[in-house]
Structure 1
Amino acid sequence: MNIILFGPPGAGKGTQAKKLVDFYGIPQISTGDILRANVREGTELGLAAKAYMDKGELVPDEVLIGIIKNRLNEADCEKGFILDGYPRTVPQADALAVILEEIEKPIDIVLNFEVPDEELVERISGRLMCKCGASYHKTFNPPKEEGICDACGAEVYQRADDTSDAVLNRLDVYKKQTQPLIEYYEAKGILVTLDGTKDIDVVFEDVKGILAKFA
């Protein structure tokens, strides 16, 4: 099955994507990851992308879609894939539809995780990180000793883009960017919106119920 995931920052999209990967055995494809991999490996498209990235410019859609097409043709995508972070615009969605038709891998379903803004702000603005990779939450999962990582004893910190004001700005950008895409896939009859406020495992049961006809 071929899936696109939508969801604002903090909606749990990444958590659900990991569960999908583990349960269905299909890869999660992040445009950022495959861009970096192509640059690192020095592929023709990677070098083209690097030329723009080195100048601080956005990688053009025609380069990005070529990299995505190559990735979707790899063997691990034979049974399906999860697109995360792409498309971000309607022109990108149109370009994606063209290449998916060429490789005969149309999108089956678009899952859209919805959570009210006030809950997203609470979720994200309470996050705490540690340099060792451990993560906490001021309310839901605080470290045993305030300000100190349970795992390594280092001081935990809050990311600069996890403050309330920064989160609200990120949500505003997401809505402006994504709303046209939600309407785009609604018109195609393949978008399903889920309640992301539920417990993680309950949300995943909802997801599995929706995907049952494709599995």
Structure 2
Amino acid sequence: MLNIVLFGPPGAGKGTQSQKLIDTYNLIHLSTGDLLRSQIAAGTELGLRAKTLMDQGLLVPDEVVIGMIDSKLKENKEAAGFIFDGFPRTVPQAEGLDQLMTENDTAITCMIALEVSEEELTKRLLLRGQTSGRPDDQDESLVRKRVQEYNTKTAPVAGFYAQQGKYHAVNGIGEIEEIFNQTCAIIDSYLTQPKTV
């Protein structure tokens, strides 16, 4: 099973690249935002717990998110693999995800990080704000704060996967196809490795 963590700050191009990877490798997209929304819409126990917290403006705890990922893994036992988008965001989440994957007889194959400079991210997000209507993409100070938040809290997750030899950086600036080809080269190197039992 091919399980990829697609990593990078807001505006790095994760959405664009993940769709291309899903189509190429027949992966299931695991976006925690989408998972939360679908569980809430379905009225599941986890969804109701999440909604109660979100309505109070609180973050959904890791165990609820991990529980949702677990049910998605169990629903798709025959899948070729998963692409994790927006998760894990912290080292405890990465540890929890590793444990969950082990319980489901699989593992994270690799983490691919799209690296983009803060200036480029700010430019991209402000540009996206002009067309997306997303208020958080229209205010430069908010944009810079989100990038800063990512650098502080989320970037250490890269170190967690680097220690396992699973971290790969890709320059997120350039042609979409070029970035995609570099990403595929990393994934293909895992697919050609002999299976270890």
**Runs of 4+ off more than 4 Å:** none
Q: Quote the Cα distance in structure 2 between the aligned partners of 1:74 and 1:165.
A: 41
Deviation at 1:168, TM superposition (A): 1.0
Unaligned 5+ residue runs, structure 2? 192-197
- What residue in structure 1 maps to residue 105 of structure 2? 104
Show the counterpart of 1:180: 156
In 2, Cα distance between the equivalents of 1:190 and 1:4?
A: 10
Match of 1:85 in 2: 86
User: Helix, strand or coil for the counterpart of 1:82?
Assistant: strand
**What's the TM-score once normalised by structure 1's chain length?**
0.82
Measured against aligned partners, the alpha-carbon deviations of 1:184-204 in whole angstroms (never above 9, x if no partner) come to 111111000001112110000
Q: CA deviation at 1:76?
A: 7.0
Alpha-carbon shift at residue 114 of structure 1 (Å): 0.3
Pair 82,3 (structure 1): closer, same or farther in 2 beyond 3 Å: same
Q: Secondary structure at the match of 1:5?
A: strand
Q: Secondary structure at the match of 1:198?
A: coil
Partner of 1:201: 177
Show CA shifts across 1:91-126 (max 9, x none): 111111111000012000100000111111122222
State the one-letter code of the partner of 1:166.
Answer: L
Distance (whole Å) between structure 1 residues aligned to residue 11 and residue 163 of structure 2? 26
Higher helix share: 2
RMSD of aligned Cα (Å): 1.6
Describe the SS at the equivalent of 1:67.
Answer: helix
What corresponds to 2:75 in structure 1? 74
Amino acid at match of 1:55: Q
Match of 1:174, SS? helix
CA contact (8 A) 2:172 2:179 kept: yes
Paired with 2:137 and 2:174, the residues of 1 have a C-alpha distance of 25
Q: What is the CA–CA distance in structure 2 between the aligned matches of 1:120 and 1:111, rounded to whole Å? A: 18
Q: Say if 1:27 and 1:76, in contact at 8 Å, map to a contact too.
A: no
Matches of 2:36 and 2:134 in 1, distance apart? 27
The residue type paired with residue 29 of structure 2 is Q
Counterparts of 1:71 and 1:158, CA distance in 2: 28
CA contact (8 A) 1:26 1:77 kept: no
Secondary structure of 2:179 counterpart: helix
Q: How many residues align?
A: 189
Asked if 2 retains the 8 angstrom alpha-carbon contact of 1:30 and 1:86, the reply is: yes
User: SS at the partner of 1:126?
Assistant: helix
Identify if the C-alpha distance between structure 1 residues 78 and 206 changes in structure 2 by more than 3 Å, giving closer, same or farther: same
Higher-Rg member (1/2): 1
Does residue 1:56 correspond to 2:57, yes or no? Answer: yes
* Deviation for aligned residue 1:41: 0.7
1:95 counterpart letter in structure 2 = G
- Once residues 64 and 76 of structure 2 are traced to their aligned partners in structure 1, the CA distance between those partners, rounded to angstroms, is 21
Equivalent residues of 1:27, 1:77 under 8 A apart: no
Instruction: Map Cα deviations across residues 24-43 of structure 1 (whole Å, 9 max, x no partner).
Output: 11111111111111111111
8 A contact 1:7–1:112 mirrored in 2: yes
Unaligned runs of 5+ in 1: 130-134, 136-156
The percentage of counterpart residues that share the same residue type is: 43
